[in-house]
Amino acid sequence: MNKNSKFNAAILIIGNEILSGRTQDTNTSTIAKWLNSLGVKVEEVRVIPDVEKTIISSVNLLRKNYNYVFTSGGIGPTHDDITSESISKAFNLSYEKHEEGYKILEAYYKPGEFNDGRQKMIWMPKGAKLILNPTSGAPGFNVENVFVLPGVPSILKSMLGGLKNQIIGGKPIISKTISLRTFESHIADSLTNVQNKFQDVEIGSYPFFQAGKLGVSIVIRSDDPNEIDKCCYDIFDFVKSKNIEIVNRD
Amino acid sequence: MNKNSKFNAAILIIGNEILSGRTQDTNTSTIAKWLNSLGVKVEEVRVIPDVEKTIISSVNLLRKNYNYVFTSGGIGPTHDDITSESISKAFNLSYEKHEEGYKILEAYYKPGEFNDGRQKMIWMPKGAKLILNPTSGAPGFNVENVFVLPGVPSILKSMLGGLKNQIIGGKPIISKTISLRTFESHIADSLTNVQNKFQDVEIGSYPFFQAGKLGVSIVIRSDDPNEIDKCCYDIFDFVKSKNIEIVNRD
């Protein structure tokens, strides 16, 4: 288990469309924010192609290294949807029709419309636990610590809510942002001092351009609100003494 | 070397802000599209935290497995910018002031403004080749097949142009998209037949929601325009016989 934090996760985005640059991934951000609220920190993301051996090796590596693995993409009805079969192979489980899933989709579609293509969507690793889909019927599934979700962002989002009780996390990770009208190099030393004083708080510094003006957002993250407050206090201290304009804080 | 394609690359996004979900990565898409136009296919993307040993191990693995590695993030002046030093360690090169880079930034800033924080930005692995930055002065760098770029999207974009001559690729990868008013399950079998016939063409199928209506985008990719044309012809064939509306093609 990775030692960086108590409860951690990896995200595996499966799909040629992300690697080609055609489609902008947004599922990473959706899953990461949701996991943060449950006290789980995402420590790695991989984007891989629809290639069986790559899916198998990635899933097997990540599920050993992290508490949770969330996959996105490749569970639809077409030829390029090979995630479910690949994950069956990763777990050495037979790939078969899920009885409960079959009943759900049989009820979801009009009589005669539950065709072979659609039936492919309920083929899963034997014994998989369904992840219900309130948007478009076809469920995802969960085997051990691996949660298999679709690639379409709105559908993925709608399925996360139902998973809440299956995730054991720590205290929610809180994030504060202080945006300043300054340059990174102007505050680098002061910020290093604050980071050295608060070792358990993660302090990030990110330059931005907004309405034609430069600035720096300082992001402070921790599961301890008191530590965040103390850290912010020290930041405001040097901001005041350097006479830096505060653009925004949230 | 990965056998999936002749000229391939991996992208390594370095930054806690992407993993936390706070910031939406867009550099993957920018780099991937640019590489496609040069005939290089991105076959893996990793997003990792600002942790030295993770950066070192990821860079060393990816540079062995792919023709090119592009990193993004962590080369600014603040405490959380540890990419350059980590990459020096990955290559077992000393981390030192780059003389040419120093001169560039000395000329870029007003007298007296080239402070310690800013000088940090020209510390690099010994012998690194500069990647010039037409937007904000501070250069990236290149060691062997690893290209180190900043995280700010507009700056990264402005630096890619100057790299064109350093990338050896194959024929540009061409992509055609045919968007249909249908469901994936309605075309799955026909699409499988087309894919089986054109093994060297990559055919992807992606459901979409647009203006409240469902549809499927079929994306055909190859470096051979003739193969793409033949493949599209077969797709239009079944689209016509199934009486499916074509929403868009490009």
Which pLDDT tens digit goes with each residue over B21-77? 999 999 999 999 999 999 999 999 999 999 999 999 999 999 999 999 999 999 999
Contact B17 A207 (CB under 8 A): no
Contact A204 B154 (CB under 8 A): no
What is the spatial distance between Cα A11 and Cα A4, in angstroms, rounded to a whole number? Answer: 16
Pairing assessment for the beta strands B8-14 and B129-133 based on DSSP bridges: unpaired
The single-letter DSSP state of residue A201 is: S
Backbone phi, psi, residue A143, to 5°? -125, 125
Nearest to B2, CA basis, from B42, B54, B46, B60:
B42
The single-letter DSSP state of residue A162 is: G
Residues of B in contact with A207 (CB under 8 A): 76, 152
A130 and A236, same domain (yes or no): no
Q: In the predicted model, what is the mean pLDDT of chain A? A: 94
Per DSSP, the three-state class of B68 is strand
What's the token pair of residue B207? 């459901």
B111 and B27, same domain (yes or no): yes
Instruction: Tell which A residues from 11 to 70 touch B, by Cβ distance under 8 Å.
Output: 13, 15-26, 28-33, 36, 41-51
Of B151, B154, B185, the CB nearest to A209: B154
A27 and A116, same domain (yes or no): yes
B138 and B90, same domain (yes or no): yes
What's the token pair of residue A122? 């309920």
What is the spatial distance between Cα A23 and Cα B221, in angstroms, rounded to a whole number? Answer: 14
Per DSSP, the three-state class of B114 is coil
| CATH code, domain carrying A185 | 3.30.70.600
The single-letter DSSP state of residue A116 is: H
Of B18, B78, B206, the CB nearest to A17: B206
Establish if B132 touches chain A: CB-CB under 8 angstroms. no
Position A5 scores a pLDDT of 52
Residue B1 belongs to some domain of the structure: no
B182 and B98, same domain (yes or no): no
Position B116 scores a pLDDT of 84
End residue of a domain, out of B114, B145, B166: B166
| Cα Rg of chain A (Å, integer) | 22
Angle at which helices A27-37 and A153-160 cross, to 10°:
10
A161 and A180, same domain (yes or no): no
Contacts of A139 (CB under 8 A, 6+ apart): A101, A104, A122, A130, A131, A132, A133
B155 and B204, same domain (yes or no): no
Contact A80 B203 (CB under 8 A): yes
Local confidence band at B5 (pLDDT 50, 70, 90 cut-offs) = low
Residues of A in contact with B186 (CB under 8 A): 115, 117
Each as own residue / partner, the long-range contacts of residues B209-213 (CB below 8 Å, 24 or more positions apart, any chain) are B209/A152, B209/A154, B210/B247, B213/B181
Residues of B in contact with A231 (CB under 8 A): none
Measured CA distances, B215 to A155, B117, B245 (Å): 14, 51, 10
Record the pTM: 0.94
Residue A2 belongs to some domain of the structure: no
End residue of a domain, out of B166, B185, B202: B166
Give the count of Cβ contacts less than 8 A between chain A and B.
190
A18 and A142, same domain (yes or no): yes
**Strand arrangement, sheet containing A129-133:** A129-133, A137-143, A146-149, A68-72, A8-14, A41-48, B41-48, B8-14, B68-72, B146-149, B137-143, B129-133
Per-residue pLDDT reduced to its tens digit, B169-193: 999 999 999 999 999 999 999 999 9
| CATH code, domain carrying B13 | 3.40.980.10
**Paired strand residues for A148:** A71, A141
What is the spatial distance between Cα B99 and Cα B79, in angstroms, rounded to a whole number? Answer: 22
Contact B17 A154 (CB under 8 A): no
Residue B43 belongs to some domain of the structure: yes
Domain of residue A233 covers: 174-249
Residue A86 belongs to some domain of the structure: yes
Of A42, A151, A185, the CB nearest to B118: A185
Per DSSP, the three-state class of B39 is coil
Per-residue pLDDT reduced to its tens digit, B149-169: 999 999 999 999 999 889 999
A89 and A183, same domain (yes or no): no
What's the token pair of residue B146? 């690893």
Contacts of B201 (CB under 8 A, 6+ apart): B195, B220, B221, B222, B224, B227, B228, B231
What is the spatial distance between Cα B5 and Cα B217, in angstroms, rounded to a whole number? Answer: 24
Residues of B in contact with A45 (CB under 8 A): 13, 18-19, 45-47
Establish if B176 touches chain A: CB-CB under 8 angstroms. no
Cα atoms found within 13 Å of the Cα of residue B76, Cβ hemisphere only? 28
Position B45 scores a pLDDT of 98
Mean pLDDT of A34-45: 96
Establish if B248 touches chain A: CB-CB under 8 angstroms. no
Q: Which residue bears the tokens 């049989």?
A: A106
Residue A3 belongs to some domain of the structure: no
pLDDT at B3 over 70: no
Mean pLDDT of A43-58: 98
Local confidence band at B117 (pLDDT 50, 70, 90 cut-offs) = confident
Residue A1 belongs to some domain of the structure: no
B218 and B157, same domain (yes or no): no
Helices (H), chain B: 16-19, 27-37, 52-65, 83-90, 99-108, 116-120, 153-160, 184-197, 225-241
Contact A47 B45 (CB under 8 A): yes
What's the token pair of residue A15? 């799909």
Establish if A185 touches chain B: CB-CB under 8 angstroms. yes
Residue A148 belongs to some domain of the structure: yes
Instruction: Tell which B residues from 201 to 240 touch A, by Cβ distance under 8 Å.
Output: 202-207, 209, 219, 221
B178 and B160, same domain (yes or no): no
Establish if B116 touches chain A: CB-CB under 8 angstroms. yes
Residue A44 belongs to some domain of the structure: yes
Position B231 scores a pLDDT of 97
Of B44, B177, B205, the CB nearest to A48: B44
What is the spatial distance between Cα B250 and Cα B244, in angstroms, rounded to a whole number? Answer: 17
A41 and A59, same domain (yes or no): yes
Of A4, A36, A205, the CB nearest to B21: A36
Position A13 scores a pLDDT of 98
Contact B44 A47 (CB under 8 A): yes
Contacts of A37 (CB under 8 A, 6+ apart): A172, A173
Q: Which residue bears the tokens 């790299």?
A: B163
Domain count, chain B: 2
End residue of a domain, out of A128, A147, A166: A166
Mean pLDDT of A178-207: 95
